[in-house]
Structure 1
């Protein structure tokens, strides 16, 4: 999800950059667009880390369920 947003924002930034002819346009890139790109990139990293943790939690839960089934014979 964030990869798509980052790609679209990068494309928009580059298109805008190609049309910049003055310091005002350059300041929009520096002060607005580039910080937005950095935030989106941070969200991408956070999302990947979240997915890794969620996967690890799912694995531990699955192992706990298997142990529980062995210990109690499936009768709870």
Structure 2
């Protein structure tokens, strides 16, 4: 679920960034589009002991499964 337009489906690109270092920001776009959308729940705290890459893999798995409606905690 995105903040701006709700649920989006299809061929998507997901980017996860961190600033400050203990928070994860997730943006999603239709692949090849200009517009980016913020994943609901972003920014989310990075779980203790997880890297940004770990978190990104969790986000991708959730998006691919279609089961998450907001950023994983």
TM-score in same-fold range (> 0.5): no
Higher helix share: 1
Query: Which of 1 and 2 has greater Rg?
Result: 1
